[in-house]
Amino acid sequence: MKNPFRKKKISAYEAIHEAHKIAFGPLIFQAARTMRDLGILQQLEQGGTEGVSAQTIADNLELSLYGVETLLESGLSCDVAEMTDDGLFTLSKIGHFLLNDTMTQINMDYNHYVNYQGMFYLDEAIKAGKPAGLKVFGKQWETLYQALPHLPEKVKNSWYCFDHFYSDSAYPDSLPIIFRNQPRTMLDIGTNIGKFTLLAAEYNPDIEITMVDLPDQLQNAVNHVESAGLSSRVQPLAMDLLDEGNGFPHGIDIYWLSQFLSCFGKQEIISILRRIAEAMDVNSTVYILETCWDRQRHVTSAYSLVNTSLYFTALASGNSKMYNSQELQACIDAAGLTLSQTYDNLGLCHTLFECRK
């Protein structure tokens, strides 16, 4: 397994400084987000290299001078803002990306709206093996996937933007691979809102697809399929995938699982894959699209992935995470499948595992 997190040689003073950055991390996050959302970062950008005063920003945004100064001083401490010799404020390179980089914006919104409150219960989730933080949205659900269709719009939209931003980048690279042998049928397992189903149906006008997901979630996918006029080739199959009594349709050419196995614990993954293996024939292929933190080109990707695992712990399921490739390989083997091909660097950060019986 490749370890992207190399050991760093730093002094004791640097180490304690980094420790304090972690200790104040939640406050810094909210300060930076507030500077972005209130328009302060935009004001700094407009001020250019000459800079802008805190008073001017306060006047332009109709905010108190106290509030603007407090946020700017926090921004100085985390290098989001910089100060000229004349005491004016400018936008740093870090601040530029917070303001303008789409991926950074999506990640920040996702962590604020979806994760922030629930992370207070991370220790409880670790001890119980259940998503204890999910109760901030209501106590009636066991997993976030049951809750997702019913969450507040800002929470739901942030979740979908985060999820789709990464998968959308990998889908165009995946389609030529899975369709190279002219499959006739596909099972989209964990279809979510049916986004990949729609892309696959448009890519291959002869493919017949069955979408599988929880009933509430599946209805969104059905609505999108109907709107696209593809109901004649796409059918829904409502299923609780954790119920080991539920088998999969037999003899399908492609069993497709995109960003899906990370939603489950290892024994649940093995159960799902084993039931797929039982349904496969000699011509069937399983394609697993996941983001493995040990197969990333950049350490920033690995950093984001391993810390996204905390979302799965505290809010989503309580027992899943972003797996490394060796862990997925072990689950594939345990389910009686054979990994025949691996495709790395699809889209921003995905790996596609091709498996046969």
Domain 12-100 = CATH 1.10.10.10: yes
DSSP string, 109-166: HIIIIIITTGGGGHHHHHHHTS-GGGGGG-SS-SSHHHHGGGS-HHHHHHHHHHHHHH
* Closest-CA residue to 325 (of 313, 342, 337): 342
For residues 193 and 207, the answer to whether their CB atoms sit within 8 Å is no
Domain boundaries, the chain: 12-100, 105-356
CB-neighbour burial class of residue 348 (10 A; exposed 0-12, middle 13-18, buried 19+): middle
| H or E element, residue 289 | strand 285-290
| HEC-encoded secondary structure of 163-207 | HHHHHHHHHHHHHHHHCCCCCCEEEEECCCCCHHHHHHHHHCCCC
CA torsion 108→111→114→117, rounded to 10°? Answer: -130
Domain 105-356 has CATH 3.40.50.150: yes
Two tokens, residue 61:
């945004």
Q: Which long-range contacts (CB under 8 A, 24 or more apart) does 148-154 make?
A: 148/217, 149/216, 149/217, 149/219, 149/220, 150/216, 154/113
Per DSSP, the chain holds a count of helices (H) and strands (E) of: 15, 9
Torsion of CA 94, 98, 102, 104, to 10 degrees: 80
What residues form DSSP beta bridges with 343? 352
Nearest CA among 270, 252, 120 for reference residue 178: 252
The pLDDT profile of the chain, 357 residues, written as one tens digit per residue, is 788 888 889 999 999 999 999 999 999 999 999 999 999 999 999 999 999 999 999 999 999 999 999 999 999 999 999 999 999 999 999 999 999 999 999 999 999 999 999 999 999 999 999 999 999 999 999 999 999 989 999 999 999 999 999 989 999 999 999 999 999 999 999 999 999 999 999 999 999 999 999 888 899 899 999 999 999 999 999 999 999 999 999 989 999 999 999 999 999 999 999 999 999 999 999 999 999 999 999 999 999 999 999 999 999 999 999 999 999 999 999 999 999 999 999 999 999 999 999
State the residue for tokens 């930076």: 32
